Chain A
Amino acid sequence: MEKSRSELGQIIVGVARDPLGLMGLIIVGVIVFCAIFAYWIVPYDPIAMDIKSRLQGPSAAHLLGTDQLGRDTFSRVIAGGQVALKVALPAVFGAMAIGLTLGMIAGYGPKWLDNLLMLFFDTIRSFPTVMFALAVVALIGPSLQTVVFVVMATSIPTYGRVARTQTLTLRNSEFILAERSMGASMTRILGVHMLPNIIGVLAVLAAMDIPTVIALEAGLSFLGLGVKPPTPSWGALLKDGYSLIRQTPWLVVGGGLPIILATLGFTFLGESLRDVVDPKLRKQR
């Protein structure tokens, strides 16, 4: 390992050396770029209706045609990507932060607290996600925030359990005993010494989780439980396209293709990241 390069730099280089990882990196890069600069990229306002030019096929003016209300599908795909990331990133990172904190406390704290937190995790996990989403949407209504909340709540246990297991393995290691014998407090041990050892595994988990969340958001929007119309979303595009598939297949292509691409991209990236970060796999090569 070269010492001049930073840890993050090494990871990125490691991922780029792996062909699948490079592909994932490029796809994710394009998606993130499109999401950030969506309002400069879109040729039309994604929610502006133009009834005269409805249900058109692809043309120079409308790259992916228009929908039943004459909205430009390409613009809606790009803007939908932004919505997808607006849901996926906060939900995944929120779940990771909360799951990590609770998991470390469960793993390092007293036994009764561990039992209590595990009971809490198991309770959440026992709800089917879609049922839980239906219940929450029925209570507070469909919106972007609702989707974020549902996804976050249902993924906390996954992160919590992984963080707990990692903490349990680390807590008896000699270097943690050494820190304790140097008078480090619980917060110092967890924050300074455990966290850097655990975060890599969780980051990989998060990268692998993002496509699931994107698909979940699309699924909820497809069911009409996700983001409210007229906000563009890949799932909403699929839903509109589904009923019009005989007139024009372009809506389904516009909604489905980005979901497939995003899923593949984040999965490739996550798997490659796992190989680079996980020290056990690193040694085997």
Chain B
Amino acid sequence: MTETLLEIDHLSVDYETGRGDLKALRDITFNVNKGEIVGIVGESGCGKSTLISSILRLTAPNTRFREGEIRFKGQDLLQASDRQMRDLRGADISIVFQDPMQTHNPVLTIGQQMLDIQHRSKQSKADKLAHAAKMLGAVGIPDPEARLKQYPHEFSGGMRQRIAIAMALMSEPDLLIADEPTTALDATLEVQIIERLQELQREFHCAILFISHHLGVIAELCDRVVVMYAGAVVESGEVREIFHDPKHPYTRRLIECDPGHIKERARVLPTIPGEVPDLANLPGGCIFRDRCDQAMARCATDVPPLDQLKEGHHAACWLNHEEVTT
């Protein structure tokens, strides 16, 4: 069961800009196993989107892959040809985007679009349409046959997101990337989508890489979590471990800031003061130093390594080295 599907191995990605290289991802390492749901959390600008576009190799033209490998079933995606990548996309790796109002072609019916994404299949048109209707049914769209004839604007946001999920799962991919799929939806729909994703994951046995900044959703859905900060992994491990015993101050603060975790009525919602450091001009030492309330002298000089603290629990903070330093 613990067969590795996706391995991100010391990946560093820069954006070439007028101000110099923007270090969007630095030394990212984590795995996604077959059939596993891995969550990625982090605030805006921490490199989540760069990471997914790197996996799909749909990056902006000024992207430079500096180091590392992205291996999918053992194949290095950064070395694959454009043709090989195109064959992977939508077949072995699919993605659901954040904003369901933008992800469908406004002038084609849902049926036409669902037919089109089956272009690799040699089935007849009727079979493809039947498959499309079956998938719509699976994500809980009532009366799928009639709905196939409708245009995207005739569906609500929640329905459109479910259609996007149906389209992504159509080819039974091994890996589904969900890029904040519930951020643009309201809270009740969020629960629906999450539950649907869980059901579908059980049915299709695909691995899910779930990107979100909503910790509650991650805790609900995922097996493991990767916490990212300013383009680097600061902590990773089992969901239960991370939430009950966070080993990085950033993770701790993130959990404290999650509205779902605030027990008593707060006049002012907790925040993490400060800003993400300038990625084009990174300071030395620990990247979280300026916003950390437990910063020590050592944090300013040395970059803390991502150490294994327990089986499967990694964190990059000098606080975990206290025995060593004192």
User: Which of A37-45, A80-88, A147-155, A175-183 lies at the interface with chain B?
Assistant: A175-183
Inter-subunit contact B95/A181 (CB<8 Å):
yes
User: Which of B63-71, B104-112, B215-223 lies at the interface with chain A?
Assistant: B104-112
Inter-subunit contact A193/B89 (CB<8 Å):
no
If A3-B154, A178-B164, A197-B106 are given as contacts, then 7 extra A-B residue pairs at C-beta distance below 8 Å, sorted by A number, are A3-B150, A173-B102, A174-B103, A175-B104, A182-B89, A184-B116, A279-B106
Inter-subunit contact B90/A182 (CB<8 Å):
yes
Inter-subunit contact B89/A183 (CB<8 Å):
yes
Q: Which residues of A contact B117 (CB under 8 A)?
A: 179, 182, 184
Q: A193 and B90 in contact (CB under 8 A), knowing A174-B99, A180-B58, A182-B167?
A: no
Inter-subunit contact A181/B106 (CB<8 Å):
no
Q: How far is the CA of A88 from the CA of B217 in the complex (A)?
A: 61
| Interchain nearest-CB distance for A228 vs B (Å) | 44
Q: How far is the CA of A96 from the CA of B164 in the complex (A)?
A: 34
Chain B residues within CB distance 8 Å of chain A:
56, 58, 86-91, 94-95, 97, 99, 102-108, 116-117, 119-120, 149-150, 154, 164, 167-168
Q: Which residues of B contact A284 (CB under 8 A)?
A: none
Which of A173, A175, A177, A185 counts the most chain B CB atoms within 10 A? A175
| Interchain nearest-CB distance for B43 vs A (Å) | 22
Q: A193 and B108 in contact (CB under 8 A), knowing A177-B97, A180-B58, A185-B86?
A: yes
Q: Which residues of B contact A197 (CB under 8 A)?
A: 105-107
Q: How far is the CA of A182 from the CA of B89 in the complex (A)?
A: 5
A192 in the interface, Cβ–Cβ < 8 Å? Answer: yes
Q: How far is the CA of A1 from the CA of B152 in the complex (A)?
A: 13
Q: Which residues of A contact B86 (CB under 8 A)?
A: 183-185
The interface residues of chain A, by DSSP majority, are classed as: helix
Q: Which of B58, B108, B150 contacts A181 (CB 8 A)?
A: B58
Inter-subunit contact B58/A177 (CB<8 Å):
yes
14 contacts between A and B (CB under 8 A): A175-B104, A178-B164, A179-B117, A181-B56, A182-B90, A182-B94, A183-B87, A183-B120, A188-B116, A192-B108, A192-B116, A193-B108, A196-B105, A196-B107
Inter-subunit contact A181/B94 (CB<8 Å):
yes
Sort chain A's interface into a size bin: 20 to 34
Q: Which residues of A contact B56 (CB under 8 A)?
A: 181
Residue of A with least CB distance to B98: A174
| Interchain nearest-CB distance for B42 vs A (Å) | 21
Q: Which residues of B contact A174 (CB under 8 A)?
A: 97, 99, 102-103
Q: Which residues of A contact B154 (CB under 8 A)?
A: 1, 3
Q: How far is the CA of A193 from the CA of B109 in the complex (A)?
A: 11
Inter-subunit contact A178/B107 (CB<8 Å):
no
Inter-subunit contact B91/A183 (CB<8 Å):
yes
Q: How far is the CA of A20 from the CA of B173 in the complex (A)?
A: 53
- The digit string for A156-196, where 1 denotes a CB below 8 A from any CB of B, is 00000000000000000111011111111100100011001
| Interchain nearest-CB distance for B99 vs A (Å) | 6
Q: How far is the CA of A182 from the CA of B104 in the complex (A)?
A: 12
Q: Which residues of B contact A179 (CB under 8 A)?
A: 105, 117
Residue of B with least CB distance to A111: B61
Inter-subunit contact B103/A175 (CB<8 Å):
yes
Q: Which residues of A contact B97 (CB under 8 A)?
A: 174, 177-178, 181
| Interchain nearest-CB distance for B102 vs A (Å) | 4
Q: A183 and B105 in contact (CB under 8 A), knowing A174-B99, A177-B58, A192-B116?
A: no
Q: How far is the CA of A177 from the CA of B119 in the complex (A)?
A: 17
**A-B pairs with the 9 shortest C-beta distances?**
A182-B90, A183-B90, A174-B102, A183-B89, A196-B107, A178-B103, A181-B95, A183-B86, A175-B105
Q: How far is the CA of A178 from the CA of B167 in the complex (A)?
A: 10
Inter-subunit contact B90/A181 (CB<8 Å):
yes
Q: Which residues of B contact A178 (CB under 8 A)?
A: 95, 97, 103-104, 164
Inter-subunit contact A193/B94 (CB<8 Å):
no
Q: How far is the CA of A1 from the CA of B120 in the complex (A)?
A: 33
